[in-house]
């Protein structure tokens, strides 16, 4: 299976402004920020699927993210996923991990919300990336926290995978750069 490509059924390359978020994270906090201790209480569940331990599987229909821990077992988290026309599926890998990333809205987000500033600093309560972001290879998408916890569990994003801040903190501590990520629509 090739992980460097992401098959998209929505818009590719627009995502949630991850390139700007990475730049902002590097400028604002550096790359050596220590991970906060995991405090979330995700569910350990039975899991069906032919995925190796350590794989992150996002099921957009269920609006759930699974971290496979062993055959038949996974840790489950609720997530917000792409809204209609912004969903994608495919296989990729985590290619960066960032604490308190800045966010720069991409063109399609800015078009839909013209009053947004060009950059929202990391740590700002207005920053939709939340406390951490893990960028995905092959596009401008990420698995990240949120400043709007009520949106988790919905079809709400421009393609990114949105988590509660405690959950992204927990997942951030459990995975590393290179972790495989599979997004499925079933």
- The whole-number pLDDT of residue 16 equals 63
Per the CB < 8 A criterion, the answer to whether 7 and 135 are in contact is no
User: Is residue 160 annotated as part of the catalytic site, yes or no?
Assistant: yes
Beta bridge partners of 90: 183
Which candidate in 160, 163, 171, 181 is catalytic? 160
- The whole-number pLDDT of residue 108 equals 87
Extract the runs of DSSP E, i.e. beta strands, from the chain. 43-46, 56-59, 64-70, 73-78, 81-82, 90-99, 132-136, 142-144, 155-157, 161-162, 180-184
pLDDT tens profile 160-180:
999 999 999 999 999 999 999
- The whole-number pLDDT of residue 139 equals 73
Q: Where are the domains of the chain?
A: 18-184
Regions in the chain scoring below 70 on pLDDT: 1-41
Q: Global pTM?
A: 0.80
Which candidate in 144, 156, 172, 183 is catalytic? 144
Per the CB < 8 A criterion, the answer to whether 140 and 15 are in contact is yes
Q: Which CATH architecture has domain 18-184?
A: Beta Barrel (2.40)
């Amino acid at each position: 299976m090739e992980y460097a490509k992401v098959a998209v059924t929505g818009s590719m390359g627009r995502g949630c402004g991850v390139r700007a978020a990475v730049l902002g994270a590097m400028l604002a906090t550096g790359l050596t920020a220590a991970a906060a201790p995991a405090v979330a209480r995700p569910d350990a569940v039975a899991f069906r699927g032919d995925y190796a331990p350590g794989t992150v599987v996002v099921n957009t229909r269920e609006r759930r993210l699974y971290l496979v821990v062993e055959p038949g077992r996974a840790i489950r988290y609720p997530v917000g996923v792409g809204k209609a026309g912004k969903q994608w599926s495919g296989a990729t890998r985590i290619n960066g991990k960032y604490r308190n990333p800045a966010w720069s809205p991409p063109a399609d987000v800015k078009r839909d919300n013209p009053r947004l500033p060009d950059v929202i600093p990391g740590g700002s309560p207005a920053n939709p990336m939340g406390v951490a972001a893990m960028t995905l290879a092959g596009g401008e998408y990420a698995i990240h926290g949120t400043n709007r916890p009520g949106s988790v569990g919905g079809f709400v994003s421009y393609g990114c995978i949105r988590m509660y801040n405690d959950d992204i903190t927990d997942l951030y501590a459990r995975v590393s750069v290179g972790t495989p990520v599979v997004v499925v629509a079933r």
